[in-house]
């Protein structure tokens, strides 16, 4: 009888260890590796409608998840901000990834941010049409929050209000001369 319990205990320890090994690894796209090396990245995990994990990680960007079951699916939101070089403004980078079919000892790799020209060239203020930067103003996403006098921090400098659409690949600059975003 004692042997039976011992065997049962070993069996349950083994299955617990296997389920504990899901790791999420954020691979920065090579063209932006130097931009993110010293930054913190927020990893926000949602299971169903419940918050599962919300944490900030430094390089190398990896987290171990509490053991999900095989049937769980997770929404993983990766978010980070980088200086664009004017008015202390930061550009938001994010990626939403749906992860499911967990297997034991598996590493889930998420590439971040989206490999697109707007993300890779975010610091480049030179307009692709006129090849000048003197009329390039920053694109602002979201709704500016106003104080009691109806003043928002974005009133202090020229900017282009994009609206509330948050994009994983969105422009950083607007050229007033050519009326384009880049
Ligand atoms: Zn231009």
- pLDDT of 63-97, one tens digit each? 887 766 666 778 899 999 999 999 999 999 999 98
Is the pLDDT score of 99 beyond 60?
Answer: yes
What's the mean pLDDT in 46-55? Answer: 84
CB 44 within 8 A of CB 99: no
Q: What's the average model confidence in pLDDT over 103-130?
A: 91
- What is the per-residue DSSP string for 1-67? -HHHHHHHHHHHHHHHHHHTT-EEEEEE-GGGHHHHTTS-EEEEEEETTEEEEEEEE-SS-EEEPP-
Check whether 17 has a pLDDT greater than 50.
Answer: no
Q: How far is the CA of 181 from the centre of ligand 1 (A)?
A: 9
Q: What is the pTM of this model?
A: 0.79
Q: Which residues place a Cβ less than 5 A from the ion ligand 1?
A: 127, 129-130, 175, 177-178
The reply to whether 35 and 70 lie within a common domain is yes
Which pLDDT does position 70 carry in this prediction? Answer: 61
Q: How far is the CA of 125 from the centre of ligand 1 (A)?
A: 10
Burial of 121 (0-12, 13-18, 19+ CB in 10 A): middle
51 and 104 within one domain: yes
Task: Identify the pLDDT of residue 5.
Answer: 58
Tens digit of each residue's pLDDT (9 = 90 or more) over 129-181: 999 999 999 999 887 788 888 888 788 889 999 888 878 999 999 999 999 99
Look at strands 173-175 and 180-181 and give their pairing: antiparallel
Q: Which residue has the higher pLDDT, 104 or 72?
A: 72
Same domain, 173 and 123: yes
CA of 141 to the centre of ligand 1 (A): 20
96 to each of 62, 79, 110, 158, 178, how far by Cα in Å?
16, 9, 10, 31, 32
Give the domain CATH number at 55.
Answer: 2.60.40
- Looking at per-residue confidence, does 92 or 22 come out higher? 92
CA of 132 to the centre of ligand 1 (A): 6
* Residues spanned by the domain of 165: 116-182
Instruction: Please tell me whether residues 99 and 173 are part of one structural domain.
Output: no
Same domain, 92 and 29: yes
Per-residue confidence (pLDDT) for residue 16, from 0 to 100: 46
Q: What is the mean pLDDT of residues 112-124?
A: 96
pLDDT, residue 59, reads: 93
Boundary-marking domain end, from 94, 114, 134 = 114
Q: How far is the CA of 45 from the centre of ligand 1 (A)?
A: 40
Buried b (16+ CB within 10 A) or exposed e, 39-61: bebebbbbeeeeebbeeeeeeeb
């Amino acid at each position: 009888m004692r042997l039976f319990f011992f065997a049962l205990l070993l069996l349950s320890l083994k299955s617990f260890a296997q389920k504990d090994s899901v790791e999420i690894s954020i691979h920065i796209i090579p063209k932006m590796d130097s931009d993110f090396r010293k930054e913190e990245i927020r990893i926000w995990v949602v299971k169903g409608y419940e918050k599962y994990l919300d944490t900030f990680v430094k390089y190398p960007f990896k987290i171990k998840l509490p053991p999900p079951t095989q049937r769980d699916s997770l929404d993983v939101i990766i978010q980070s901000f980088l200086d664009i070089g004017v008015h202390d403004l930061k550009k938001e980078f994010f990626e939403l990834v749906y992860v499911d079919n967990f297997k034991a000892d598996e590493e889930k790799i998420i590439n971040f941010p989206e490999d697109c020209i707007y993300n890779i060239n975010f610091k480049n203020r030179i307009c692709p049409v006129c090849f000048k930067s003197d009329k390039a103003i920053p694109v602002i996403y979201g709704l500016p929050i106003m104080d009691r006098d109806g003043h928002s921090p974005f009133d202090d400098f020229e900017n282009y209000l994009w609206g509330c659409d948050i994009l994983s690949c969105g422009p950083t600059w607007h050229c007033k001369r050519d009326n384009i975003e880049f």
